[in-house]
């Protein structure tokens, strides 16, 4: 091979190497962007989720004291998990909330782990305010289905399935058939009872009462974490590890 041929080959190799480095950098940046989107929440929470809650407050949801309630719920309708008595983590979520899914992906394991390891009592409050913003009833129906799962001792498994299958498009919602399928995957023992509970909205009054109770706190966005009466401030988080550190510090484990 001539010297000029070698030079051309060297230049081509260099161009290929640079192109490969650029592709690697782009892929790394895409991963960082995804992490960033999953970790930074506060501004989205105020601008998007806050609007949804404003709709609920305008409608002045009132508490319902009658009607069926799932087994084991607290006085304000929360679903308690774990064996600890302190600290108490009150977690307010809406199954249609995309930011809730981001939090679930980021620190859901830590939250549930705190309960199962006896480090905290975690009480889930499943809200339905986004129905007013999204013009559907999927928040209420999925919250009712969560109550149906709780009634058979499979709330957490169902909860995880719902977020795992949250539609990519906010407002697409869930069908009853999907909710029933989530229950089956979650291991609900009596699927006949569960299916009837979902389709008949057995705990619809309980769903309304949980939202009404949250309005009195007041909860101004989802997800909201309150530890022993003090709201956890995640606004300083820049990446997922920050969210985890803030949560663990709030429950005395940081």
Q: What does the domain layout of the chain look like in residue ranges?
A: 1-39, 41-250
Q: May I ask the CATH class of domain 41-250? A: alpha beta
Q: What is the DSSP letter of 45?
A: I
Instruction: Give the CA distances from residue 165 to residues 162, 198, 246, in Å, rounded to whole numbers and listed in that order.
Output: 5, 17, 27
- For the chain, percent of residues with pLDDT exceeding 70: 74
Express each pLDDT in 199-229 by its tens digit: 999 999 999 999 999 999 999 899 999 999 9
Query: Measured between alpha carbons, how far is 54 from 95 in angstroms, rounded to an integer?
Result: 17
| DSSP run (H or E) holding 191 | helix 191-200
**Angle CA 96–127–122, to nearest 5:** 105
**What pLDDT shows up at residue 254?**
75
Please indicate whether residue 246 or residue 17 has the higher confidence score (pLDDT).
246
Q: What is the mean pLDDT of the segment spanning 161-184?
A: 96
């Amino acid at each position: 091979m001539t010297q000029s041929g070698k030079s051309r080959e060297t230049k081509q190799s260099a161009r290929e190497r640079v192109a490969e480095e650029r592709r690697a950098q782009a892929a790394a940046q895409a991963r960082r962007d995804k992490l960033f989107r999953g970790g930074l929440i506060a501004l989205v929470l105020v601008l998007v989720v806050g609007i949804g809650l404003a709709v609920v407050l305008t409608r002045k949801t009132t508490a319902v004291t009658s009607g069926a309630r799932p087994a084991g719920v607290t006085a304000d309708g929360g679903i308690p998990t774990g064996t600890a008595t302190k600290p108490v983590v009150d977690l307010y979520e809406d199954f249609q909330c995309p930011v809730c899914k981001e939090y679930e992906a980021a620190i859901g394991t830590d939250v549930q782990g705190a309960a199962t390891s006896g480090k905290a009592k975690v009480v889930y409050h499943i809200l339905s305010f986004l129905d007013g913003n999204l013009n559907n009833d999927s928040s209420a129906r999925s919250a009712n289905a969560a109550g149906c799962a709780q009634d058979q001792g499979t709330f957490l498994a169902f909860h995880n399935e719902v977020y795992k299958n949250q539609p990519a498009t906010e407002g697409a919602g869930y069908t009853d058939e999907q909710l029933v399928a989530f229950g089956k995957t979650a291991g609900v023992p009596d699927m006949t009872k569960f299916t009837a509970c979902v389709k008949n909205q057995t705990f619809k009054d309980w769903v309304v009462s949980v939202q009404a109770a949250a309005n009195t706190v007041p909860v101004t966005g989802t997800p909201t974490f309150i530890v022993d009466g003090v709201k956890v401030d995640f606004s300083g988080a820049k990446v997922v590890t920050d969210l985890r550190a803030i949560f663990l510090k709030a429950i005395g484990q940081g």
